[in-house]
Structure 1
Amino acid sequence: MKKALTALAAGVPLVAAAVYLPTASADETRDTATATTAACAAPSVRAPAGTKVESVTAVRHAGGTIHGTGLLGGEVSGVPAFCQVTVTLTHPGEGDHAKVQTWLPLAQWNGRFQAIGGSAYSAGDNGVGLGTAVKNGYAVTTTDAGVGDVLDTSWVLDSKGKVAGTPLKNFASRSQHEAAVVGKAVVDHVYGKRAAYSYFTGCSTGGRQGYMEAQAYPDDYDGILADAPAVNWDEFEVATLWPQVVLNNEKTYPTDCELDAFTGAAVKACDKLDGVRDGLVNDPSRCDFDPRRLIGTKVVCAGEELTITAADAAVVRKIWDGPRTTSGRKLWSGVPVGADLKGLARSVTDTDGTVKGQPFQVPALWVQLFLKKDPSFDLTKVTYSEFTKLFQQSRAEYDHVIGTDDPDLSAFRKSGGKLLTWHGLDDEYIPTEGTVRYRKQVERKMGGPQRVDDFYRLFLAPGTSHCGLNGQDGSADGLAALADWVEQGKAPRTLPATLTNASGEQVERNLCAYPQVSRYKGSGDPSLATSFRCVPSRH
């Protein structure tokens, strides 16, 4: 089962900054598994085009338990002995220093290469993903791109108060490609042969990096597992500040308990759309629950009875609907109806009793640093009209750099690459609709859904939060499914999943390849995947 990490920073859950850790339990049965005894010595590495190698080091590790660094933390145990090779790169004249780490199992290498993406504003893995990959027999690479931890944005503004172009370019695209080149070269040197297959894995920021690889560097990987991808970065990062803009402009701040009541009511109302009450909304596009139905409802929170007001319902309605201009033109999709509203619509009470919004740090930092170029900019003052200007500014300044929304994947298809994605339908930080929108754009560009299915498949996971962080995993083993597709030509029609429904019960489902959705057969145990089948969405 895939795992994801959570952490706390300044009292805010770092859910969007999660590392997605795929497993590969099926790998041991494949013919490419290789018993290997490797030497751990610093290899000679040829610098990728446009770079210079500053240093190469090699350290032998005994393995055991690996503790994750930085805010995400976490740990993985049972890691076998491995060789850690670190290559530091610079782009001459640009003053940057990017480290590429490659961990190589000293025995029982499975013959495969894996690269791992990052989280929030971190470009690479914190050690837990690397350890997990080594534990599963992979030689694995990640890069820090010369930037910092998940919320370390000290690199963004230069001494003149302008956005620093070199680290942004590294973070957006360049360093991932260079890590692929360096990592493969290290593998070749240490093992004396090339990896049989190469894969990229990541979720959130890592998912975006995977899509960037497919778009800009189509020959780097045989397969890319890119989940809950932060594509359309320049647009959705501003869009996810919208709930806070609504709270502050309406001067209405529903409590956490009231927000939960709205979500719970929506899930309950839309639960039966797939033919059975199973505690999951399998097709949220058909859910038209009106939050005004809760006006006057009593909610008990910390022993205090609260009454949901028309103002509360109006706020939630705007948040679900998503950002619009003052004239009503839709800018982006809103928070999914089944998602945790507290992720983006949380508020706090100051010591003087004043209630104000508490924005999620990732979009907050994007607006303050990349758009306003002012770390102290007061986000509570953003009006609806200024929000539209910020959205348009972000698109104009950054789409070409980090938008990651080029629908032309013809070179990736020609290279024989496979792209696999799952995205939680209850993602509270990256609206699923953005991924669906990108998939539709690819279909229009590349000849329709059937031709796209040949190399790119999307699976939507009911009841699943951002990167499966609330224990509601979207797939039992996405990496194994991807490897079967790449190595055996077995395209996944479904992905087996264990989900947690609204009652906290675990249920089995086979995630359906988009645009199909799961529908109850009319009989059978609703907790079993065999009681459901994939059918076209009725939306």
Structure 2
Amino acid sequence: MRRLLLAALATGVPLVTAAAYLPNAAAQPPHGPASASAPRTCSPQSVTAPAGTTVESVTAVRHEAGTVDVPEVWPLPADHVDGVPAFCDVTVTLTHPGAGDHAKVRVWLPLQGWNGRLQTIGGSAYAAGDYGKGLAGAVRNGYAAATTDAGVGTYIDTSWALSGDGQVNEAPLQNFASRSEHEAAVVAKEVIGRFYGRPASYAYFNGCSTGGRQGYMEAQRHPDDYDGILANAPAVHWDEFEVATLWPQVVMNQEKNYPTPCELAAFTKAAVQECDPLDGAEDGLVDAPERCGFDPRSLIGTKVLCAGRELTITAADATVVRKIWDGPRTTSGRKLWPGVPVGAELSGLAGTTPPDAEGNVKGAPFPVPAAWVATWLEKQPSFDVSTITYSRFTQLFKQSQAEYGRVIGTDDPDLSAFRDSGGKLLTWHGGADEFIPAQGTVRYRQQVERKMGGIKKVDDFYRLFLAPGATHCGLNNGSGATVDDLGALVAWVEQGKAPRTLPATLRNASGDLVTRELCGYPRMPRYDGHGDRTTAAGFHCAPPTRH
């Protein structure tokens, strides 16, 4: 479980420059680099409170050049970022009068060499912001960086959710959902303007997962906050998908069958082998998991070696996997949400405990959806989610929509104000995302197209790229799989170079690194029939095959 938590909480915030997309690595926004001025003094400054808030305190701490140590925040271990220039860490604490909240906005300001840009870093799971790694990476690349904790908890700490009488704490939920991210943008811009004597030439938002959702919320509700928003694997449709990701546990509990991780991996391996060739090349990547028609019943009777034991895949195992891949449905058969994509690690959401003394196992739900259902829906943090029946699941899904869709759904398709402000929104989403199915992001993109005039008009300001084989926030997270997404966004915003593709390095099902051009949605990669299958040269982007 700890390994899965670490994977799920990876923010994917890149520690790379935009050099691949800019004419030269030293390219600067208008007004030139701030390094031409004298070194800045790091001291507390006056900050105007954003509308509806009061500034409780402002602190400033100077950090010398060198290594930034990132603290351990459970379940993530301590980390560090080397080569960070000297910077001033300004922390502004805000409160909403009468709410009793205390939201911290941190702004890291390079003392020399500022590139004239702001980069705000988003959060992960139930953490609204960054604990230092993303901030340090941004400062190392010349940005002034900002983040907010929204006054809530850490990654899986939801103790702030309910009041003493068991009612939802509306103020921190509003902070987490939308309010604090906007206030962070307002504060960061003022701090930057006062510190450097001029405003940032460009403002960017950078987030994945919860951070991706925050980016979409900014585009929807505060379209003037950022010139460019990089929002990857976004947790949009939060009120729906958060319940939907508990579905694998409901299936196992209701079917009274708990396949082992080894058996789940066997299903995934077989499905990838069958559906890998759909793009014309057997390269270990399933480019369109939603088109994979692999029948898990074909593995019934197959022997699987697991920790020295030989297991036989049963019809019950196949039923569980089929339902998980298919996704949640009502008892009448109506589909509620996409399932875990074929090719993704099933044990992420279909986790189980180790066998007890009698060899029995039970479900081990992923903490994020379990907390959402138990705390915000049942209003009982200790609620046993293993008791949820198929019919109760449908009720909870509808309840979440009704109670929280307007608060945190983050699925308003009207991006006209963001478009009119000149903003650009760029997203990639992994095809093997084990926690947030990419089809949810595709669904939102299609809703925007219907609302705003079709693919070409939406492409003018919003582009989506699907990354075959990529896991949740699985690029730029140290696995060797990479993409210069921020560089592409900067080039689009500042030079008008809209990205048709995103050059990427991906890790396939065998663990090998291959290069690909991520195709702009709805185009898909197709093998040309010749050339090296491990490089992008043998592939081109083509319209999706119709079925």
Is the 2:125–2:209 Cα contact (8 Å) retained in structure 1?
A: yes
Q: Deviations over 1:266-295 (max 9, x none)?
A: 000001111111111112232111111111
- Is the aligned partner of 1:126 residue 2:128? no
1:45 corresponds to which of 44, 47, 67: 47
Once residues 316 and 89 of structure 2 are traced to their aligned partners in structure 1, the CA distance between those partners, rounded to angstroms, is 56
- Is the aligned partner of 1:294 residue 2:299? yes
- Same amino acid, percent of matched pairs: 67
Paired amino acid for 1:65: T
Where in structure 2 are the equivalents of 1:263-412 lying within 5 Å?
263-348=268-353, 349-412=355-418
- Secondary structure of 1:21's partner? coil
Is the 2:135–2:145 Cα contact (8 Å) retained in structure 1?
A: yes
> Alpha carbons of 1:12 and 1:506: their partners in 2 closer, same or farther (altered >3 Å)?
closer
Is the 1:419–1:455 Cα contact (8 Å) retained in structure 2?
A: yes
Structure 2 partner of 1:16: 8
Once residues 99 and 410 of structure 2 are traced to their aligned partners in structure 1, the CA distance between those partners, rounded to angstroms, is 24
Is the 2:228–2:423 Cα contact (8 Å) retained in structure 1?
A: yes
1:112 corresponds to which of 103, 107, 117: 117
Paired amino acid for 1:24: T
1:462 corresponds to which of 447, 465, 468: 468
> Alpha carbons of 1:474 and 1:331: their partners in 2 closer, same or farther (altered >3 Å)?
farther
1:513 corresponds to which of 520, 523, 536: 520
With normalisation by structure 1, the TM-score equals 0.96
- Secondary structure of 2:335's partner? coil
Structure 1 partner of 2:149: 144
Q: Deviations over 1:424-483 (max 9, x none)?
A: 000000011000000000000000010000000000000100000686676521001000
Q: Which moved more, 1:69-78 or 1:447-456?
A: 69-78
Q: How many residues are matched?
A: 531
Structure 1 partner of 2:490: 483
Q: Deviations over 1:138-194 (max 9, x none)?
A: 001000000111011110010111110000000000000000000010101111111
- Secondary structure of 1:442's partner? helix
Structure 1 partner of 2:91: 86
2:511 corresponds to which of 495, 504, 513: 504
Structure 2 partner of 1:3: none
Is the 1:223–1:418 Cα contact (8 Å) retained in structure 2?
A: yes
Query: Residue 522 of structure 1: CA displacement?
Result: 1.1
- What RMSD in Å do the two structures reach over aligned CA positions? 1.4
Is the 2:65–2:84 Cα contact (8 Å) retained in structure 1?
A: yes
Q: Deviations over 1:479-537 (max 9, x none)?
A: 01000000000000000100111122110000000000100011111111111000011
Structure 2 residues not aligned, in runs of 5+: none
Once residues 471 and 249 of structure 1 are traced to their aligned partners in structure 2, the CA distance between those partners, rounded to angstroms, is 38
Once residues 61 and 127 of structure 2 are traced to their aligned partners in structure 1, the CA distance between those partners, rounded to angstroms, is 24
- Is the aligned partner of 1:96 residue 2:98? no
Once residues 499 and 343 of structure 2 are traced to their aligned partners in structure 1, the CA distance between those partners, rounded to angstroms, is 26
Once residues 148 and 40 of structure 1 are traced to their aligned partners in structure 2, the CA distance between those partners, rounded to angstroms, is 28
Once residues 170 and 275 of structure 1 are traced to their aligned partners in structure 2, the CA distance between those partners, rounded to angstroms, is 47
With normalisation by structure 2, the TM-score equals 0.95
Query: Residue 18 of structure 1: CA displacement?
Result: 2.2
Is the 2:122–2:211 Cα contact (8 Å) retained in structure 1?
A: yes
Which runs of 4 or more aligned residues in structure 1 lie more than 3 Å from their structure 2 counterparts after TM superposition? 350-353, 469-475
Where in structure 2 are the equivalents of 1:238-253 lying within 5 Å?
238-253=243-258
> Alpha carbons of 1:54 and 1:471: their partners in 2 closer, same or farther (altered >3 Å)?
closer
Paired amino acid for 1:203: C
Once residues 266 and 339 of structure 1 are traced to their aligned partners in structure 2, the CA distance between those partners, rounded to angstroms, is 10
- Secondary structure of 1:271's partner? helix
Structure 2 partner of 1:214: 219
Structure 1 residues not aligned, in runs of 5+: 1-7
Once residues 260 and 75 of structure 1 are traced to their aligned partners in structure 2, the CA distance between those partners, rounded to angstroms, is 33
Q: Deviations over 1:54-74 (max 9, x none)?
A: 111111001322222312343
- Secondary structure of 1:356's partner? coil
Structure 2 partner of 1:31: 28
Once residues 264 and 75 of structure 1 are traced to their aligned partners in structure 2, the CA distance between those partners, rounded to angstroms, is 35
Q: Deviations over 1:53-110 (max 9, x none)?
A: 0111111001322222312343211111100000000011111110000001111101
Paired amino acid for 2:537: T
Is the 1:60–1:84 Cα contact (8 Å) retained in structure 2?
A: yes
- Is the aligned partner of 1:434 residue 2:440? yes
Once residues 504 and 110 of structure 2 are traced to their aligned partners in structure 1, the CA distance between those partners, rounded to angstroms, is 29
Once residues 250 and 127 of structure 1 are traced to their aligned partners in structure 2, the CA distance between those partners, rounded to angstroms, is 43
Once residues 79 and 468 of structure 2 are traced to their aligned partners in structure 1, the CA distance between those partners, rounded to angstroms, is 26
Once residues 157 and 281 of structure 2 are traced to their aligned partners in structure 1, the CA distance between those partners, rounded to angstroms, is 46
- Is the aligned partner of 1:62 residue 2:60? no
Paired amino acid for 1:204: S
Paired amino acid for 2:343: G
Once residues 14 and 311 of structure 1 are traced to their aligned partners in structure 2, the CA distance between those partners, rounded to angstroms, is 30
Structure 2 partner of 1:4: none
Paired amino acid for 1:476: V
Query: Residue 220 of structure 1: CA displacement?
Result: 0.1
Q: Which moved more, 1:16-25 or 1:509-518?
A: 16-25
Once residues 10 and 397 of structure 2 are traced to their aligned partners in structure 1, the CA distance between those partners, rounded to angstroms, is 25
- Secondary structure of 2:473's partner? helix
Once residues 509 and 122 of structure 1 are traced to their aligned partners in structure 2, the CA distance between those partners, rounded to angstroms, is 32
Structure 1 partner of 2:456: 450
- Secondary structure of 1:102's partner? strand
Paired amino acid for 1:361: P
Q: Deviations over 1:221-269 (max 9, x none)?
A: 0000000000000000000000000000001111110000000000000
Once residues 64 and 119 of structure 1 are traced to their aligned partners in structure 2, the CA distance between those partners, rounded to angstroms, is 26
Q: Which moved more, 1:352-361 or 1:210-219?
A: 352-361
> Alpha carbons of 1:85 and 1:471: their partners in 2 closer, same or farther (altered >3 Å)?
closer
Is the 1:54–1:90 Cα contact (8 Å) retained in structure 2?
A: yes
Is the 2:18–2:490 Cα contact (8 Å) retained in structure 1?
A: no
Paired amino acid for 1:287: C
